[in-house]
Chain A
Amino acid sequence: MAAEPGKIDPMHQFMVEPLFGTGGLQVGGYNIAFTNSALWMVLSLFVLWVFMLGGMKRQLVPGRWQAAAESVVGFVNSMVSTSIGPEGRRFVPLVFTLFMFIIIANLMGMVPIGILTPVWHGAHAFTATSHFTVTGVLAVLSFATVLIVGFSRHGFHFFSLFVPHGTPVIMIPLMFVIELFSFLVRPFSLALRLFVAMTAGHILLKVLGGFVIKGISAGVGYGLLVSLPSFVLMIGISALELLVCAIQAYVFALLTSLYLNDAVNLH
């Protein structure tokens, strides 16, 4: 459904476009263009790298930066060890990487570089986590780790995960199927939650932004009646979106560590 000219097109911000003239790059028949999505993921990794490099100082009395890095690491560490137990320490790097990449990619998508449009046409922040391909790969990463850890630790005994303790014998086939399905939808629910939460928030912001612009261009009366309340609402929604960015990253990391707990300890 293409937007007619002059209409608000809130989906345009999710367009993946090749950058720096790499649109035609092909390897084995597949297009490997360096897109704006890839650019923002690389930027997120760069921000994470700078954050950690500046934080890992090993000073006895930590400065502000080191204290910030230490508190994030401590937060993930305590989350993993309360859900998995002492054996969970091995998974802290994985969960920490997922958590930090998601939260930074989410927050980078909120950076309002669109105000640079007069000097840099078409400038807008791109939320890499608002695409199912990206969040799907992250979810597959966490799900594959669960499968590998589960099967390498317990072998085929891992299937006992699908039959809870104390299930009556008659119910075992039914319970097995239900538990298997609830296990298999986990990567989809992980990926879908993150992608939709990011997409919905950004669509809402762009729709409100369209109200502000159209109200102002319709005259002073409409500007006061429509644009001003919309703008105030936009500020509130932006604050809410910052909260959602953090909560979604937290939920992703928390669910990953809970699923890893299943794989490490069974029930």
Chain B
Amino acid sequence: MDAEAAKLIGAGLAAIGVGLAALGVGNVFGSFLESALRNPAAADGQQGRLFIGFAAAELLGLLAFVVAMILLFVA
């Protein structure tokens, strides 16, 4: 296979990771909302943890984006 074609295919495969991070971020906010509706009084106190969980889930997806960009523009 041509090296250029392999790079493009690799970048496309790396994009799958971004979609998986979407599942993670959705899970973070979904679970938060689920439990916040059960006990709305405790919800405000957990907002910091909500965003820490969001940041961690998002970062791992952004790493997939970085891999795609490195394949396209650096490698």
Residues of A with Cβ closer than 8 Å to B? 1, 11, 79, 82-83, 189, 192-193, 196-197, 199-200, 247, 250-251, 254-255, 258
Contact = CB atoms under 8 A, between A and B. Distances in A.
Given A189-B59, A200-B65, A247-B51, 19 more contacts: A1-B73, A82-B48, A83-B48, A192-B59, A192-B66, A193-B58, A196-B62, A196-B65, A197-B62, A199-B69, A200-B62, A251-B51, A251-B54, A254-B51, A254-B52, A254-B55, A255-B52, A255-B55, A258-B52
19 contacts: A79-B48, A82-B48, A192-B59, A192-B62, A192-B66, A193-B55, A196-B62, A196-B65, A196-B66, A197-B62, A200-B65, A247-B51, A250-B51, A251-B51, A251-B52, A254-B48, A254-B51, A255-B52, A258-B52
Q: How many of chain B's residues touch chain A, expressed as a range?
A: 10 to 19
A247 to B, nearest CB: 7
A199 B58 CA distance: 14
Interface of B is mostly: helix
Residue from B51, B55, B66, B73 with most neighbouring chain A CB atoms (10 Å): B55
A197 B66 contact: no
A182 to B, nearest CB: 11
A173 B54 CA distance: 30
Interface string B39-51: 0000000001001
B20 interface: no
